[in-house]
Amino acid sequence: MSNEVLLMPANEIEKVKAHYLKYKIERSAPGVVFAAKLSDTAITIYKSGKVMFQGNGASREAALWNGGTSSTTTTVKSPLTKGDTLPEHFELQSVVGSDETGTGDYFGPITVAACFVPAHQVELVKELGVKDSKMLTDELMRRIAPDLMKTLTHSVLVLKNEKYNEIQGRGWSQGKIKAMMHNQALKHVLKKMEPEKPSFILIDQFAERGIYYNHIKMEKEIIRENVLFSTKAEQLHVSVAAASIIARYAFLKEMDRLTEIAKTAIPKGASAKVDEIAAKIYLKHGEEFLKSITKWHFANTQKAMKLVQKRKF
């Protein structure tokens, strides 16, 4: 199946709509202003002025509209990513992507999300504002995430601090915790999608394949089929970028909750500022409370205790 996207000016878009009016279908997806279906081609017009042609007749139909600037098809794999070699036109395939967040933050959970973006929704997901998530602010992600969660089959796991501290105390490394969570989230998404299957699964790589599978070797159900690993995977398929935004959203929601119960703004990261807030929370609410909202084994705990002893902050 081929896929062509043209970026067209408003007056040209009106001509396209008129041309396909007979074949118009209702599509209530966000960002879509018009959709039509021929026997071998689906035409979708987006708010941004992009017109997508999908199906066996895609190039024939797109060729009728040469006024536009062709914008899709090939993205060359960024030389800065490390991992599996991806199949050609990977960015246009039906993929389940997964990513995590919160691993370097003293306060708050680790969250992992996995989500499925089928080929026909790749453009739609971009239209919803999904780009390389490293380029998006938290505020933007808060706005985009609810639409993504409505639109896409997904799973999001939030590992709260109490549970994190318990399993970390039992000797689980962060790598193992992440691997277990990715496997779990992928399992959920694949189950929800049944009987449909993705062409590939792409995990934003935090460990090499062998290490990843070693971490989860005792699990009953291990997701292995068509699994690819790459660093910076959010640049390689929108499913990973979307998963990253959903994971971030869940992280921010939990941080909001912690801010509420601690009655002070909870900072991200693991800087000296974080030590100070931790020391204040310790003095106000005690050790048990502080432990219940942090990754207790981080060096920040010792640094905060030093501040408490000196009362210097």
- CB nearer to Mn ion: give 35 or 158: 158
Segment contacting Mn ion by CB under 5 A, of 29-37, 70-78, 94-102, 187-195: 94-102
CA geometry: angle 32, 37, 41, nearest 5 deg? 105
- CB nearer to Mn ion: give 127 or 204: 204
CA–CA separation, 206 and 226 (whole Å): 18
Q: Is 215 exposed, middle or buried (0-12, 13-18, 19+ CB in 10 A)?
A: buried
What one-character DSSP code corresponds to residue 45? E
- CB nearer to Mn ion: give 177 or 290: 177
**How many chain residues interact with Mn ion (CB under 5 A)?**
2
Taking the complex as a whole, the smallest distance from the CB of residue 19 to Mn ion amounts, in Å, to 43
CA geometry: angle 239, 243, 246, nearest 5 deg? 140
Segment contacting Mn ion by CB under 5 A, of 9-17, 95-103, 124-132, 136-144: 95-103
CA–CA separation, 253 and 110 (whole Å): 12
Segment contacting Mn ion by CB under 5 A, of 93-101, 214-222, 256-264, 276-284: 93-101
- CB nearer to Mn ion: give 3 or 101: 101
- Residue 105 interacts with Mn ion (CB under 5 A): yes or no: no
Taking the complex as a whole, the smallest distance from the CB of residue 212 to Mn ion amounts, in Å, to 13
Buried b / exposed e across 273-304, counting CB within 10 Å, b at 16+? ebbbbbbbbbeebeeeebebbbbbebebbebb
Taking the complex as a whole, the smallest distance from the CB of residue 243 to Mn ion amounts, in Å, to 9
- CB nearer to Mn ion: give 110 or 277: 110
- Residue 204 interacts with Mn ion (CB under 5 A): yes or no: yes
Closest among 235, 205, 49, 42 to 130, alpha carbons compared: 235
Nearest-CB residue for Mn ion: 204
Taking the complex as a whole, the smallest distance from the CB of residue 177 to Mn ion amounts, in Å, to 14
- CB nearer to Mn ion: give 207 or 290: 207
Taking the complex as a whole, the smallest distance from the CB of residue 144 to Mn ion amounts, in Å, to 17
Alpha helices in 194-285 (DSSP H): 209-215, 238-262, 272-285
Taking the complex as a whole, the smallest distance from the CB of residue 48 to Mn ion amounts, in Å, to 27
Say whether the peptide bond before residue 195 is cis (omega within 30 degrees of 0): yes
- Residue 99 interacts with Mn ion (CB under 5 A): yes or no: yes
The answer to whether 121 touches 268, Cβ cutoff 8 Å, is no
Interacting residues toward Mn ion by CB under 5 A: 99, 204
